[in-house]
């Protein structure tokens, strides 16, 4: 059901004057990988009974769109492990053209081959796929799963289905610090844009993040030795700062939460699978939308969203030598 005219509802603007137009929805905290920079090998996940139902997720997203959110990204954990994800995407996709400009998804790609067609049917036209290396052995080490060929098959299926693809690559010292040029060249040959991301200190993992941290100043310098990086005002609604590589015909984005803070222009909030709305990736401020919805009905969502805008922090406080918050990246989906 298409909601009422969103122009009748006030936009979501925080106490620092930043307008929230981008909602990231973690549909599950579960993942079929255990990437070393993101998770521990032994993880505890939410009991399924504590998750929002698909109907509740769709209802909450509807209200965000009514309040001025124009972009929604489905994330996890790994979103494609959530049963019913294609149906949820279809329900949200009905708002495209009715307040919503874009519905996207971030995935590790391992289950993408079987899901690509249904994502297109739901109205998704662009996805991000996490891929930190093109070397199978390194991939298996980083992800702790030997699923490299499944990921490549998923990417190929998504491309064949007509989805535009951007590769997300986390910069990891000693693991892929020699792989940025080959990855860029591969993306150019495939017609994919590329985003390179600094590892973020979220949750406790089995390794020392300090050893793996690689500032994107190093990455950009490495790429600039091989390619001409032209400044670009290209934007996909998130924190990436893009350059255009004419030799490859692609954009390369840099997401640098530690070396280049982008909080002043933050337009994002993050809904977890259990209904908590986090207002900053690196802070613990949140409101409980599940409680508001189940205790007082849909009308209570507006008051909760207004409170969320009141308490949204000014900035994160990332330091690579300690976790900024106890929750893992898989809880909020980045």
User: Are the C-beta atoms of residues 115 and 85 closer than 8 Å to each other?
Assistant: yes
CA-closest candidate to residue 130, choices 108, 145, 147, 148: 108
Residue 269 in marked binding region: yes
Q: What share of the chain is helix, strand, coil (3-state, %, to 5)?
A: 35, 20, 45
Q: Tokens at residue 307, please?
A: 């409170």
Alpha-carbon span 104 to 48, nearest angstrom: 24
Cis peptide before 77 (omega within 30 of 0): yes
> What count of residues does the chain have?
334
The rounded Cα 259 to chain-centroid distance in angstroms is 19
Handedness of CA 58, 64, 69, 72 (dihedral sign): negative
Angle at 294 between CA 293 and CA 300, to 5 degrees: 30
Residue 187 in marked binding region: no
Residue 24 in marked binding region: yes
Alpha-carbon span 92 to 104, nearest angstrom: 11
Alpha-carbon span 238 to 21, nearest angstrom: 10
Residue 126 in marked binding region: no
Handedness of CA 290, 291, 297, 299 (dihedral sign): negative
For 125, residues 6+ apart whose C-beta sits below 8 A from its C-beta are 102, 162, 163, 164
Residue 286 in marked binding region: no
User: Are the C-beta atoms of residues 201 and 322 closer than 8 Å to each other?
Assistant: yes
Residues annotated within the binding site for [4Fe-4S] cluster are 31, 35, 38, 263, 266, 280
Binding site membership for GTP: which residues? 24, 73, 106, 166, 268-270
**Binding-site annotation: residue ranges:** 24, 31, 35, 37-38, 73, 77, 106, 130, 166, 200, 263, 266, 268-270, 280
Binding site for S-adenosyl-L-methionine, residues? Answer: 37, 77, 130, 200
């Amino acid at each position: 059901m298409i909601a009422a005219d969103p122009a009748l509802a006030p936009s979501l603007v925080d106490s620092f004057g930043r307008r929230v137009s981008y909602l990231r929805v973690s549909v599950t905290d579960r993942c079929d990988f255990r990437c070393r920079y993101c998770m521990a090998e032994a993880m505890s996940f939410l009991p399924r009974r504590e998750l929002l139902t698909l109907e509740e997720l769709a209802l909450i997203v509807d209200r965000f769109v009514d309040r001025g959110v124009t972009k929604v990204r489905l994330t996890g954990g790994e979103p494609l492990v959530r049963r019913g994800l294609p149906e949820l995407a279809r329900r949200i996709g009905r708002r495209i053209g009715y307040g919503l400009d874009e519905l996207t998804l971030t995935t590790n790609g391992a289950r993408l081959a079987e899901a690509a067609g249904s994502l297109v049917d739901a109205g998704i036209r662009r996805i991000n796929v996490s891929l930190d290396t093109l070397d199978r052995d390194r991939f298996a080490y980083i992800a702790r799963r030997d699923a490299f060929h499944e990921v490549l098959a998923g990417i190929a299926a998504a491309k064949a289905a007509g989805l535009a693809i951007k590769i997300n690559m986390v910069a990891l010292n000693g693991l892929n610090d020699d792989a940025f040029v080959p990855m860029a060249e591969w993306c150019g040959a495939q017609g994919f844009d590329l985003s390179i991301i600094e590892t973020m200190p979220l949750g406790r993992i089995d390794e020392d993040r300090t050893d793996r941290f690689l500032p994107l100043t190093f990455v950009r310098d490495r790429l600039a030795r091989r390619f001409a990086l032209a400044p670009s005002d290209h934007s996909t609604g998130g924190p990436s700062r893009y350059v255009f590589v004419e030799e490859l015909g692609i954009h390369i984005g840099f997401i640098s939460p530690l070396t280049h803070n982008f909080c002043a222009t933050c337009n994002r909030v993050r809904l977890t699978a259990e209904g908590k709305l986090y207002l900053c990736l690196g802070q613990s401020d949140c409101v409980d939308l599940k409680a508001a919805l189940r205790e007082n009905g849909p009308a209570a969502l507006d008051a909760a969203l207004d409170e969320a805008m009141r308490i949204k922090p000014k900035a994160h406080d990332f330091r690579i030598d300690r976790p900024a918050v106890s929750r893992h990246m898989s809880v909020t989906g980045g």
